[in-house]
Amino acid sequence: MKTIFKILALSVIHLSLIYGNGGPPPPLPFINADISGPPHQAPLFLADTNMATIFAQFSVFTPSSVDGKIKVEGTRSVFTSIKNNKNLEWKIPNVTFNVGIDIKVWKRLSIFATLKFDNRESGITATGSDFGIGILISPDKDFRVRLDLGFIYLSTDVVTRLQSGSGTDTLHRVVTKNNKVLDPFLSLTMNTAFEDWLINPFFQVSFYRQTLFNITSNTRDVYSTVNLFTLTPGITYRLNKNMLLIIGGNYFIPSDLDNRSSQAIFSAFAQVNFLLL
């Protein structure tokens, strides 16, 4: 019994030494971050009657960067006059290239997967991928609707600056990493498919929760996310029975980026769908 009491006493003393000051030290205050990578972009599939679709998409983005003020979770933010009360600079690749496949597993249900590439500062990079399911609504009608639910796996180059020290002894701790995140998305695509029309319009609306960065400071996660809404209008032109040309544009609206230099991010794209089976 005495042995048990001794073990318990030693354990209490050990824990007291570790957590006597209120647990592990708090994370260092966040100053700002530079990130490089594209905004989340949902794959564009239509509610077609074929059993499989392979697509290739080329997009051009503007502006080349967006800055603003973000909310950071897991610590507190401090601001300096250098960034004009802004703590984020988001560098956006000029172009992206996506390829993907969609396979119908039931009359109104399909699964899809894509691969993403971009030309950020380090050169052409394999950015990530998408995967999920699509629910086809009236796929054999002249007006069609498709609902996609999935995940986007994206890598982002991140440089974060944390404040170390106080007063005249303030120092900056810089953390550089390639951040890989998995975020959900939801998109709704509507299109016409009149055979006697030369071109048919489409419209897609998408919602994402995009993680900008996630680092560890003093054993605690320090991260920031934004909500992204995307409006995507465009037209389709059937090149032949098995090929569809799609031209459109994306209008990305980041809702949690305050005091931003640009109210939105734009991209124009061209896509070819190869309709199989």
Segments making up each domain of the chain, as ranges: 36-69+92-155+176-276
- Percent of all residues in the chain with a pLDDT value above 90, rounded to a whole number: 50
| Sign of the Cα pseudo-torsion (60, 66, 71, 73, in order) | positive
For 120-139, the pLDDT digits (tens) are 776 788 889 999 999 998 88
Dihedral in degrees, nearest 10, Cα atoms 267, 126, 109, 184: -70
Residue 7 confidence (pLDDT):
47
* Average pLDDT score over residue span 90-95: 92
pLDDT exceeds 80 at position 159: yes
Q: Enter the tokens of residue 117.
A: 């590439």
Q: Which residues, in sequence order, are CB contacts of 99 under 8 Å at separation 6+?
A: 54, 55, 56, 57, 114, 115
Residue 223 confidence (pLDDT):
87
User: Within 13 Å of residue 125, how many CA atoms lie on the same side as its CB?
Assistant: 20
Residue 82 confidence (pLDDT):
52
Residue 26 confidence (pLDDT):
76
- Percent of all residues in the chain with a pLDDT value above 70, rounded to a whole number: 85
Residue 75 confidence (pLDDT):
83
Band of pLDDT at residue 12, cut at 50, 70 and 90: very low
- Assigned CATH topology for domain 36-69+92-155+176-276: Porin (2.40.160)
pLDDT exceeds 70 at position 202: yes
Higher pLDDT, 153 or 219: 153
Q: Which residues, in sequence order, are CB contacts of 2 under 8 Å at separation 6+?
A: none
The amino acid at 216: T
pTM of the prediction? 0.82
* Average pLDDT score over residue span 22-37: 80
